[in-house]
Structure 1
Protein backbone atom coordinates (compact mmCIF):
# COMPACT_ATOMS: atom_id res chain seq x y z
CA UNK A 1 0.00 0.00 0.00
CA UNK A 2 1.19 3.51 -0.82
CA UNK A 3 1.20 6.34 1.70
CA UNK A 4 1.75 10.06 1.13
CA UNK A 5 3.48 11.75 4.03
CA UNK A 6 3.51 15.49 4.58
CA UNK A 7 5.67 16.72 7.43
CA UNK A 8 6.24 20.10 8.97
CA UNK A 9 9.01 21.31 11.23
CA UNK A 10 9.20 24.48 13.26
CA UNK A 11 12.09 26.90 12.72
CA UNK A 12 13.47 26.13 16.19
CA UNK A 13 13.67 22.39 15.32
CA UNK A 14 14.86 22.73 11.70
CA UNK A 15 18.59 22.38 12.37
CA UNK A 16 18.09 19.33 14.60
CA UNK A 17 15.81 17.71 12.00
CA UNK A 18 18.38 18.26 9.26
CA UNK A 19 21.20 16.85 11.43
CA UNK A 20 19.11 13.79 12.23
CA UNK A 21 18.19 13.33 8.57
CA UNK A 22 21.87 13.47 7.58
CA UNK A 23 22.63 10.85 10.24
CA UNK A 24 19.66 8.50 9.71
CA UNK A 25 18.68 9.11 6.09
CA UNK A 26 15.11 8.06 5.45
CA UNK A 27 15.53 5.24 8.02
CA UNK A 28 12.97 3.02 6.31
CA UNK A 29 12.51 -0.21 8.25
CA UNK A 30 12.88 -3.58 6.53
CA UNK A 31 9.77 -4.33 4.49
CA UNK A 32 9.11 -0.70 3.64
CA UNK A 33 10.24 1.12 0.49
CA UNK A 34 10.71 4.88 0.17
CA UNK A 35 9.60 5.90 -3.34
CA UNK A 36 10.84 9.47 -2.94
CA UNK A 37 11.49 12.39 -0.59
CA UNK A 38 11.11 16.09 -1.35
CA UNK A 39 11.94 19.14 0.78
CA UNK A 40 10.72 22.70 0.35
CA UNK A 41 13.33 25.36 -0.40
CA UNK A 42 12.76 26.76 3.11
CA UNK A 43 13.60 23.33 4.59
CA UNK A 44 10.57 23.66 6.90
CA UNK A 45 8.33 21.09 5.22
CA UNK A 46 8.65 17.96 3.17
CA UNK A 47 6.81 15.21 1.36
CA UNK A 48 7.46 11.50 0.97
CA UNK A 49 5.80 8.62 -0.80
CA UNK A 50 6.39 5.25 0.82
CA UNK A 51 5.20 1.72 0.18
CA UNK A 52 4.40 -0.44 3.21
CA UNK A 53 2.41 -3.62 3.72
CA UNK A 54 2.23 -3.27 7.49
CA UNK A 55 1.14 -0.12 9.32
CA UNK A 56 3.57 -1.07 12.11
CA UNK A 57 6.40 -0.28 9.69
CA UNK A 58 5.10 3.29 9.47
CA UNK A 59 5.14 3.47 13.26
CA UNK A 60 8.76 2.33 13.27
CA UNK A 61 9.64 5.00 10.71
CA UNK A 62 8.09 7.79 12.78
CA UNK A 63 9.64 6.76 16.12
CA UNK A 64 12.71 8.80 15.21
CA UNK A 65 10.78 11.90 14.14
CA UNK A 66 7.64 12.58 16.18
CA UNK A 67 9.57 14.55 18.79
CA UNK A 68 10.53 17.13 16.14
CA UNK A 69 8.02 17.00 13.27
CA UNK A 70 4.28 17.09 12.79
CA UNK A 71 3.56 14.22 10.38
CA UNK A 72 0.45 13.73 8.26
CA UNK A 73 0.04 10.28 6.69
CA UNK A 74 -2.56 9.45 4.03
CA UNK A 75 -3.09 6.16 2.17
CA UNK A 76 -3.09 6.88 -1.58
CA UNK A 77 -3.65 5.18 -4.93
CA UNK A 78 -1.25 5.39 -7.82
CA UNK A 79 -2.96 6.11 -11.14
CA UNK A 80 -3.32 2.43 -12.07
CA UNK A 81 -4.78 1.62 -8.65
CA UNK A 82 -7.27 4.47 -8.91
CA UNK A 83 -8.42 3.30 -12.36
CA UNK A 84 -8.82 -0.25 -11.05
CA UNK A 85 -10.80 0.93 -8.04
CA UNK A 86 -13.04 3.20 -10.12
CA UNK A 87 -13.76 0.56 -12.75
CA UNK A 88 -14.95 -1.82 -10.04
CA UNK A 89 -17.25 0.77 -8.42
CA UNK A 90 -19.38 2.00 -11.31
CA UNK A 91 -23.00 2.91 -10.57
Structure 2
Protein backbone atom coordinates (compact mmCIF):
# COMPACT_ATOMS: atom_id res chain seq x y z
CA UNK A 1 0.00 0.00 0.00
CA UNK A 2 1.19 3.52 -0.77
CA UNK A 3 1.20 6.37 1.74
CA UNK A 4 1.74 10.13 1.46
CA UNK A 5 3.90 11.42 4.31
CA UNK A 6 3.92 15.18 4.94
CA UNK A 7 6.12 16.87 7.51
CA UNK A 8 6.63 20.29 9.05
CA UNK A 9 9.28 21.36 11.48
CA UNK A 10 9.78 24.37 13.67
CA UNK A 11 12.75 26.65 12.94
CA UNK A 12 14.12 25.76 16.39
CA UNK A 13 14.48 22.12 15.23
CA UNK A 14 16.43 22.96 12.06
CA UNK A 15 19.89 22.10 13.39
CA UNK A 16 18.75 18.78 14.84
CA UNK A 17 16.85 17.84 11.67
CA UNK A 18 19.89 18.61 9.50
CA UNK A 19 22.18 16.62 11.79
CA UNK A 20 19.89 13.56 11.83
CA UNK A 21 19.27 13.65 8.08
CA UNK A 22 22.98 13.94 7.30
CA UNK A 23 23.79 11.09 9.70
CA UNK A 24 21.06 8.70 8.49
CA UNK A 25 20.53 9.85 4.91
CA UNK A 26 16.85 9.87 5.74
CA UNK A 27 16.68 6.10 5.27
CA UNK A 28 13.28 4.55 5.83
CA UNK A 29 12.75 1.79 8.40
CA UNK A 30 12.59 -1.88 7.43
CA UNK A 31 9.38 -2.64 5.59
CA UNK A 32 9.05 0.85 4.08
CA UNK A 33 10.17 1.58 0.52
CA UNK A 34 10.78 5.22 -0.39
CA UNK A 35 9.26 5.97 -3.82
CA UNK A 36 10.08 9.68 -3.82
CA UNK A 37 10.74 12.58 -1.47
CA UNK A 38 10.54 16.32 -2.02
CA UNK A 39 11.69 19.16 0.25
CA UNK A 40 10.50 22.76 0.29
CA UNK A 41 13.16 25.37 -0.28
CA UNK A 42 13.88 27.47 2.78
CA UNK A 43 11.95 25.52 5.37
CA UNK A 44 11.43 22.24 7.13
CA UNK A 45 8.48 21.22 4.99
CA UNK A 46 8.07 18.44 2.49
CA UNK A 47 6.43 15.21 1.54
CA UNK A 48 7.29 11.69 0.49
CA UNK A 49 5.49 8.83 -1.13
CA UNK A 50 6.32 5.49 0.46
CA UNK A 51 5.12 1.93 0.09
CA UNK A 52 4.58 -0.56 2.91
CA UNK A 53 2.80 -3.87 3.37
CA UNK A 54 1.33 -2.76 6.70
CA UNK A 55 1.41 0.12 9.15
CA UNK A 56 4.19 -1.18 11.42
CA UNK A 57 6.95 0.38 9.31
CA UNK A 58 4.90 3.54 8.83
CA UNK A 59 4.58 3.83 12.61
CA UNK A 60 8.33 3.37 12.99
CA UNK A 61 8.93 6.15 10.46
CA UNK A 62 6.66 8.54 12.36
CA UNK A 63 8.32 7.66 15.67
CA UNK A 64 11.86 8.14 14.27
CA UNK A 65 11.15 11.77 13.38
CA UNK A 66 8.28 12.63 15.71
CA UNK A 67 10.50 14.41 18.20
CA UNK A 68 11.56 16.95 15.55
CA UNK A 69 8.77 17.10 12.97
CA UNK A 70 5.01 17.01 12.93
CA UNK A 71 3.92 14.41 10.42
CA UNK A 72 0.68 13.66 8.63
CA UNK A 73 0.39 10.26 6.93
CA UNK A 74 -2.39 9.33 4.53
CA UNK A 75 -3.14 6.19 2.50
CA UNK A 76 -2.70 6.99 -1.20
CA UNK A 77 -4.22 5.70 -4.43
CA UNK A 78 -2.96 5.85 -8.01
CA UNK A 79 -5.17 7.31 -10.74
CA UNK A 80 -5.87 3.75 -11.91
CA UNK A 81 -6.96 2.60 -8.45
CA UNK A 82 -9.12 5.67 -7.96
CA UNK A 83 -10.68 5.24 -11.41
CA UNK A 84 -11.60 1.63 -10.61
CA UNK A 85 -13.14 2.67 -7.28
CA UNK A 86 -15.10 5.48 -8.93
CA UNK A 87 -16.36 3.19 -11.71
CA UNK A 88 -17.57 0.68 -9.11
CA UNK A 89 -19.23 3.47 -7.15
CA UNK A 90 -20.98 4.79 -10.25
CA UNK A 91 -22.14 1.33 -11.26
CA UNK A 92 -23.71 0.61 -7.86
CA UNK A 93 -25.39 4.01 -7.60
CA UNK A 94 -26.88 4.18 -11.09
CA UNK A 95 -29.16 1.21 -10.62
Normalised by the length of structure 2, the TM-score is 0.87
Greater share of residues in helix = 2
Aligned residues: 91
Question: How far apart are the structure 1 equivalents of 2:86 and 2:67?
Answer: 38
Normalised by the length of structure 1, the TM-score is 0.91
**Unmatched 5+ residue regions in structure 1?**
none
Offset at residue 31 of structure 1 (A): 2.4
Deviating beyond 2 angstroms after TM superposition, the runs of 4 or more aligned structure 1 residues are none
Question: How far apart are the structure 1 equivalents of 2:10 and 2:29?
Answer: 25
Asked if 1:32 is matched to 2:32, the reply is yes
Which residue is 1:49 aligned to? 49
Offset at residue 63 of structure 1 (A): 2.2
Question: How far apart are the structure 2 equivalents of 1:53 and 1:88?
Answer: 24
CA RMSD of aligned residues (A): 1.2
Offset at residue 4 of structure 1 (A): 0.7
Give the number of the structure whose alpha-carbon radius of gyration is greater. Answer: 2
